[in-house]
Amino acid sequence: MAEKCIYCGMDIEEEGVVRKIDGEEIKFCSQHCAVMFEGLEKKGRMKAAIMAERGEIISGLEDERGTRVITLIHRREPWEEKDESSISIEDTEHVLMRIRQTPGDKDVDLILHTPGGLVLAAEMIAMAVKNHPSKVSVIVPFYAMSGGTLIALAADEIIMEKDSVLGPVDPQLGGVPAGALISLLGKKPPENISDDNIMLSEEARKSLERVQKMVKWLLEDKMGKEKAENLAEFLTGGYTTHDTPIVFEVAKGFGLNVKQGMPRRVYDLFRTFEFGACPRPQYVKY
């Protein structure tokens, strides 16, 4: 494999351009990239170096598996103060672009590590995963909760460790599970429930129905209509708490196409992120 330029990530042809920066010899693809890199401040250089390393790991993984590798990883970036916390619309745009740029006959590996996030954002990614004509594998080295699980359900296969976890996909409204809001109406006479909560429980019902339909659609071509309906009802109905871990054996028992055999390079990739700092899965919105 050719050496990659630390600034632009392209292959370095022949000799490249070598510069001594901060006492270290660094190779670039061109004079242009050497000058641009030198002009960056310290954090910018750190970012360029890490992104180049990631690019190299990802292209190694692509060669090994013959796939296009896309990542959706929520973990603190070493050069940033703030946390990358949950699935956002920006993530959706990034992932959708990458899937659309992938030829229809090329398999996709989507590396997923997330506590969940915005419902619409996760739904859009799930649809794109399902609609890709070739095989899509979702790779979950640690956890993909909530909206992350929704995306995993769309894939042709889920590669996870024995103790990687998925979770229920019941929507949360204002931090409260949809199922709990709906059941409120049956527990108290309406005159004792605030208008706000009555309206919220109406929203909860709609949102639960919508996610349930989506899950059923994602699963029915893989396990048949009846099984898909039952699993969709279980995963969205709020029968367990929102942070209940669904490990490999349980996912298998559900009839999901889960496999073990995490590629080693996935862990090489995670080495390039900061540990800790992200909100824990139990805080997720969805």
**Tokens describing residue 129:** 């995963």
Q: Judged by CB, which is closer to Zn ion: 5, or 178?
A: 5
156: Cβ–Cβ under 8 A, 6 or more apart, which residues?
135, 136, 137, 222, 257
Distances (CA, A) of 108 to 167, 172, 262, 279: 23, 30, 15, 28
Residue 9 CB, shortest distance to Zn ion, in Å, is 7
Q: Judged by CB, which is closer to Zn ion: 37, or 273?
A: 37
Q: Which residues bind Zn ion (CB under 5 A)?
A: 5, 7-8, 29, 33
d(CA 16, CA 28): 6
Q: Judged by CB, which is closer to Zn ion: 8, or 124?
A: 8
Residue 27 CB, shortest distance to Zn ion, in Å, is 10
Q: Judged by CB, which is closer to Zn ion: 8, or 251?
A: 8
Residue 33 CB, shortest distance to Zn ion, in Å, is 3
Q: Judged by CB, which is closer to Zn ion: 8, or 70?
A: 8
Residue 8 CB, shortest distance to Zn ion, in Å, is 3
Q: How many CB atoms lie within 10 A of CB 190?
A: 8
Q: Judged by CB, which is closer to Zn ion: 32, or 188?
A: 32
Distances (CA, A) of 58 to 50, 120, 139: 12, 28, 13
d(CA 152, CA 211): 14
Element (DSSP H or E) covering residue 25: strand 24-28
User: DSSP assignment of 48-99, as one string?
Assistant: HHHHHHHHHHHHHHHHHHTSEEEEEE-S--TT-SS---SB-HHHHHHHHHHH
Q: Judged by CB, which is closer to Zn ion: 2, or 198?
A: 2
Residue 2 CB, shortest distance to Zn ion, in Å, is 12
Residue 29 CB, shortest distance to Zn ion, in Å, is 3
Residue 152 CB, shortest distance to Zn ion, in Å, is 35
Calculate the CA dihedral of residues 11, 16, 17, 23 and round it to 10 degrees: 80
The residues that bridge with 110 in the sheet, in sequence order, are: 70, 138
